[in-house]
Amino acid sequence: MAGPAASVHEEALLKPLVGFRPKLFLGSLLTGGLVGLLFYAWGFQIVNDIGVAGITRPVFWGFYIVNFVFWIGISHAGTLISAILRVTQAEWRRPVTRCAEAITTFALMIGGLFPLIHLGRPWIFWYMVPIPTDRGIWPNFRSPLMWDIMAITTYLIGSVMYLLLPMIPDFAIIRDRMMRESPKSLKTLFFRVAALGWRGTPQQWFSLEAGIKTMAVVIIPVAVSVHTIVSWDFAMAIQPMWHSTIFGPYFVVGAIYSGVAVLMLAMYLLRRGLHIEQYLNDKVFNNLGLMFLAFAMLWSYFTFAEHLTVWYGNEHSERIVFDARIDGRFSGFFWTMIVVNTVIPFLVLPWRKGRSPLGTAIVGFGVLIGMWIERYLIVVGTLSFPRLTYTEGFYSPTWVEVGILIGSVGLFGFLYFTFIQLAPIVSLWEVREGEHIKNRPAPHGASPALNPAEKEA
Amino acid sequence: MANEYLHAAFRTSAEARVALNRLGQDGVAPEHVEVRSSVPLEHDVHPVGAKLRSKIPWTSLAGAALGGTAFFMMVKLTSEAYPLPTGGQPIVALPPAGVITFEGVAIGAVLMTVATVLIECGLPAFRKKPGPLDHHIALDHVLVSVKQDEGASTAWTAQAIETARG
Amino acid sequence: MTRWGMAIDVDRCTGCGACAVACHAENNIQTVGEVEAAKGRAMHWLRIERYYEGTFPDIKARFMPVLCQQCGHAPCEPVCPVYATYRTPEGLNAMVYARCIGTRYCANNCPYTVRFFNWFTPEFPTPLERQLNPSVSVRPAGVMEKCTFCVQRIQDAQEVAAQEEREVRDGEIRTACSQSCPAQAITFGDLDDASSLVAQLAHSDRASHLLEDLSTEPSVIYLAGGR
Name the closest residue on chain C to residue A138, using Cα atoms: C82
Angle between helices A282-313 and A316-326 in degrees, nearest 10: 130
Kindly calculate the radius of gyration of chain A based on its CA atoms and give it in whole angstroms: 23
Whether residue C222 is predicted with pLDDT greater than 70 in this model: the reply is yes
**Residue A12 belongs to a domain:** no
Name the closest residue on chain C to residue A115, using Cα atoms: C103
Supply the ipTM of this predicted assembly: 0.94
Whether residue C157 is predicted with pLDDT greater than 90 in this model: the reply is yes
A215–chain B Cβ distance below 8 A for any pair: yes
* DSSP per-residue string spanning A212-254: HHHHHHHHHHHHHHHHHHHHHHHHTS-STTTS-TTHHHHHHHH
Distance of CA C129 to the CA centre of its chain: 23
Q: Which residues of C touch A115 (CB under 8 A)?
A: 103
* DSSP per-residue string spanning A342-381: IIHHHHHTTSGGGGSHHHHHHHHHHHHHHHHHHHHHHHHH
Name the closest residue on chain B to residue A163, using Cα atoms: B114
The minimum CA-CA distance between C103 and chain B, rounded to whole Å, is 17
What pLDDT is stored for residue A454 in this prediction?
Answer: 42
Kindly calculate the radius of gyration of chain C based on its CA atoms and give it in whole angstroms: 18
Distances (CA, A) of A321 to A305, A338, A386, C110: 16, 17, 9, 17
Distances (CA, A) of C164 to A188, A447, C167, C189: 82, 100, 9, 20
- What mean pLDDT is reported for chain A? 91
The enclosing domain of A425 has a CATH number of 1.20.1630.10
Number of domains in chain A: 1
What pLDDT is stored for residue A450 in this prediction?
Answer: 45
CB contact under 8 A, A56 and C142: no
Name the closest residue on chain A to residue B121, using Cα atoms: A204
Distances (CA, A) of A288 to A74, A261, A283, C28, C122: 15, 10, 9, 59, 54
Domain that holds residue A334: 22-130+139-450
For chain B, helix, strand, coil in percent to 5 are 45, 10, 45
What pLDDT is stored for residue A4 in this prediction?
Answer: 45
Interface-testing mutation among C62, C80, C113, with chain A (most A C-beta atoms within 10 A): C113
Which of helix, strand or coil describes residue C185? Answer: coil
Nearest to C143 among A56, A120, A387 (CB): A120
Question: A378: left (phi > 0), else alpha (psi -120 to 50), else beta?
Answer: alpha
Closest to B146 in 3D by CA, of B42, B11, B15, B22: B22
Whether residue A269 is predicted with pLDDT greater than 90 in this model: the reply is yes
> Rounded to an integer, what distance in angstroms lies between the CA atom of residue A141 and that of residue A131?
13
B109–chain A Cβ distance below 8 A for any pair: yes
What pLDDT is stored for residue B150 in this prediction?
Answer: 57
**Residue A378 belongs to a domain:** yes
pLDDT per position as a tens digit, A106-126:
999 999 999 999 999 999 999
Interface of A with C (CB under 8 A): 49-51, 54-61, 115, 118-122, 124-125, 127-128, 137-140, 142-146, 149, 233, 236-239, 383, 386-388, 390-391, 393-394
pLDDT per position as a tens digit, A53-77:
999 999 999 999 999 999 999 999 8
CB contact under 8 A, A214 and B56: yes
> Rounded to an integer, what distance in angstroms lies between the CA atom of residue A225 and that of residue B152?
59
List chains adjacent to chain C, taking adjacency as at least 3 C-beta pairs closer than 8 Å.
A, B
CB contact under 8 A, A143 and C80: yes
Q: Which residues of C touch B87 (CB under 8 A)?
A: 73-79, 87
**Residue A4 belongs to a domain:** no
Q: In a structure prediction context, what are the per-residue pLDDT tens digits for chain B, which is 166 residues long?
A: 457 888 899 998 889 999 898 888 888 888 889 999 999 998 888 888 888 999 999 999 999 999 999 999 999 999 999 899 999 999 999 999 999 999 999 999 999 999 999 999 999 988 888 888 988 998 889 999 888 765 556 788 888 888 888 7
CB contact under 8 A, C75 and B89: no
Q: What is the pTM of this model?
A: 0.94
B43–chain A Cβ distance below 8 A for any pair: yes
pLDDT per position as a tens digit, A400-445:
999 999 999 999 999 999 999 999 999 999 999 998 988 877 665 5
Selected residues 12-41 of chain B with any CB under 8 Å from a CB in chain A? 12-14, 34-41
List chains adjacent to chain A, taking adjacency as at least 3 C-beta pairs closer than 8 Å.
B, C
Nearest to A146 among C49, C81, C102 (CB): C81
Whether residue C148 is predicted with pLDDT greater than 80 in this model: the reply is yes
**Residue A455 belongs to a domain:** no
- Judging by beta carbons within 10 Å of its beta carbon (0-12, 13-18, 19+), is residue B1 exposed, middle or buried? exposed
- Long-range own/partner contacts, residues A39-45 (CB < 8 A, 24 or more apart): A39/A407, A40/A403, A41/A399, A41/A400, A41/A403, A41/A404, A41/A407, A42/A117, A42/A404, A42/A407, A44/A400, A45/A117, A45/A400
Distance of CA A303 to the CA centre of its chain: 21
- Within B46-161, where are the H helices? 58-81, 94-121, 135-138
Instruction: Kindly report whether the peptide bond that precedes residue C127 is cis, defined as omega within 30 degrees of 0.
Output: yes
Domains of chain C, each with CATH number or no CATH? 4-223 (3.30.70.20)
**Residue A16 belongs to a domain:** no
Taking a C-beta distance cutoff of 8 angstroms, is the pair A77, A159 a contact? no
**Residue A352 belongs to a domain:** yes
**Backbone phi and psi for residue C142, each to the nearest 5 degrees, phi listed first:** 90, 10
- Establish, for the pair of chains A and C, how many residue pairs have beta carbons separated by less than 8 Å: 134
Closest to C219 in 3D by CA, of C196, C184, C190: C190
Looking at A25-29, A165-169, A182-186, which range is the least confident one? A182-186
**Backbone phi and psi for residue B37, each to the nearest 5 degrees, phi listed first:** -150, 165
Distances (CA, A) of B149 to A51, B5, B30: 77, 9, 14
Selected residues 391-450 of chain A with any CB under 8 Å from a CB in chain B? 428-429, 432-433, 436, 440
**Residue A8 belongs to a domain:** no
Closest to C21 in 3D by CA, of C40, C48, C51: C48
CB contact under 8 A, B87 and C217: no
Interface-testing mutation among C77, C88, C93, with chain B (most B C-beta atoms within 10 A): C77
- Give Cβ neighbours of residue A316 (< 8 Å, ≥ 6 apart): none
Whether residue A446 is predicted with pLDDT greater than 90 in this model: the reply is no
The number of helix segments (H) and strand segments (E) in chain C equals: 6, 10
CB contact under 8 A, A49 and C142: yes
pLDDT per position as a tens digit, C22-44:
999 999 999 999 999 999 999 99
- Average pLDDT (C207-215) is 94
